[in-house]
Amino acid sequence: MQSSGGSGQDVAVPVAPSPLEGEGQLLKRSAEKQREGSRRVSIRDQTPPPIPVTLTPRQGSKSVPLPHSERGHAARTHRSTSPTLRLLWLTMIMCVIVGSSLTPQSSADDFRPSGGSRDSRGLITPRAEQGIANGLRWLADEQQPDGSFGSVFAYDGNVGVAGLCGMAFLASGSTPDRGPYGKTVSQTLDYVLSCAQPSGFLCEKGAEERYHGPMYGHGFAMLFLAEVNGMTPRDDVAETLRRAVKLTIDTQNEQGGWRYNPRPEVADISVTVSQMMALRAARNGGISVPKETIDRGVDYIRRSQNNDGGFKYQLLRSAESKFPRSAAGLVGLYTSGVYEGDVIDRGLEYLIQFRPAGIGSRNMQHYHYGHYYAVQAAWHAGGDFWREWYPSIRDELLDQQSGRGGWPDHWIGPEYATAMSLLILQTPNNLLPIFER
């Protein structure tokens, strides 16, 4: 999706209290349920879970390599055992310990990096809390009677925009029929489900005639369904999600990526990341995703990296690196289980030069799209990268917020820009399961 600056038509709203209190625990329980599902259905491997490991963040690291150890089991010997038997027992114990040390290390998908601190809620200042509350109130007031969002003609009723708006409310602590915006979330869910086609494609009627790239909408809507799955007892959510996942799997092209339409045509990194992130979220909820699908997607993203650490748009043509798609490329790797290595280090080195720093950074193309992914990359990177990035984008976004509560965008619409801004600002809440490590 694309975005550009401008002014939206907002409506006056009062300052609302933060909706986080009371509903965060429900989201945390859902995240735990989804993590349990992820242990049952692994994207990267279908082998049994590894030996539990102890994770210790490395101080001062901008990326995520974490040491881990495996513990052998101590054996007990009876005091009356003869010296010969005790020697035999000791030999057997040593064999077990040595065997454990030779066991292959857990793959990247078997554990999570430290990422953004779980104590990052303190980065949400009182000013940010007020901005978030006003933004949520404004966005809820803009919801259409059918549960959709959108005031710009081409994207009016866009299922992807609806999915992003729904996630903005989930990130605040509300869930279907629970919390200050529980009804809003439920109506959004109803709308997204109503857009599901028999093939599994999530797309509103007439979308292909009004704009290009309906697979963007499919990806964001599928991500919303994956996040809300487990927060509601509705059977139609999981079933619709399974069909959507199958369509994405079936439309991956030979290069390993996806493009604008639900068929295996020439891919681009932007649509590919939207599908990869949704597949990971679905897997977290227990939906089966073939290892091969993820491996091929990761390979596509890796091959899209340029020498400067950024990412190109397509493999088949030479293209310079750009901030928005480079941020997306990093998140596509992180959420697929690639937490370290040269591809991550070089990507972060490229990304840091775009840290928000004033008026100039606000005028970049695809502003909200780029920062939606960039703040997630910073969250996964953790350390100083996260602590420096989030306050910068937080203050920059708050400076742009209208007095009525929304954020402007003339291309896709203020609803889209507001949802993206709220997701960015609420990242430290760590309430969306996709952020769980």
Task: Yes or no: say if 435 and 138 are a contact pair by the CB < 8 Å rule.
Answer: no
Looking at the chain, how many residues does it have? 437
Q: Name the least confident of 12-21, 51-60, 159-168, 298-307.
A: 51-60
Inter-residue contact 3 to 409 (CB < 8 Å): yes
Both tokens of residue 272? 């590919």
Distance of CA 65 to the CA centre of its chain: 20
Our measurement of the distance from residue 122's CA atom to the centroid of its chain's CA atoms, rounded to an integer in Å, reads 21
Token pair for residue 67?
């040491």
Cβ 41 vs Cβ 289: under 8 Å:
yes
Q: Are 329 and 311 in contact (CB under 8 A)?
A: yes
Task: Judge contact between 165 and 368, C-beta under 8 A.
Answer: no
Provide the pLDDT for residue 364.
Answer: 80
Choose between 79 and 288: higher pLDDT. Answer: 288
Question: Over 90: is that where the pLDDT of 28 sits?
Answer: no
Is the pLDDT at 316 greater than 50, yes or no? Answer: yes
User: Rounded to an integer, what distance in angstroms lies between the CA atom of residue 101 and that of residue 118?
Assistant: 31
| Beta strand spans in 334-398 (E) | none
Q: What is the DSSP string of 381-421?
A: H-HHHHHHHHHHHHHHHHHH--TTS----SSS-HHHHHHHH
pLDDT digits (tens, 9 = 90+) for 344-400: 999 999 999 999 976 556 668 899 999 999 999 999 999 999 999 999 999 999 999
| DSSP summary character for residue 202 | B
Higher pLDDT, 258 or 5: 258
Least confident of 21-35, 112-126, 232-246, 280-294: 21-35
Comparing 174-188, 203-217, 231-245, the range with the smallest average pLDDT is: 203-217
Higher pLDDT, 344 or 119: 344
CATH of domain 24-46+107-435: 1.50.10.20
Residues with Cβ within 8 Å of 24's Cβ and at least 6 positions away in sequence, in order, are: 173, 429, 431
Buried b / exposed e over 84-112, threshold 16 CB at 10 Å, is eeeeeeeeeeeeeeeeeeeeeebebbbbb
Burial class (CB in 10 A: 0-12, 13-18, 19+), 329: buried
CA dist 302 and 324 (Å) reads: 16
Could you state, in order of their start, the residue ranges of all structural domains in the chain? Answer: 24-46+107-435
pLDDT digits (tens, 9 = 90+) for 234-290: 999 999 999 999 999 999 999 999 999 999 989 999 999 999 999 999 999 999 999
Closest CA to 328 of 297, 284, 369: 369
C-alpha angle 254-260-265 in degrees, rounded to nearest 5? 25
Helices H / strands E in the chain, number of each: 16, 0
Bigger pLDDT: 229 or 26? 229
Both structure tokens of 190: 């109803």
> 360 or 422, which is more confident?
422
d(CA 214, CA 207): 7
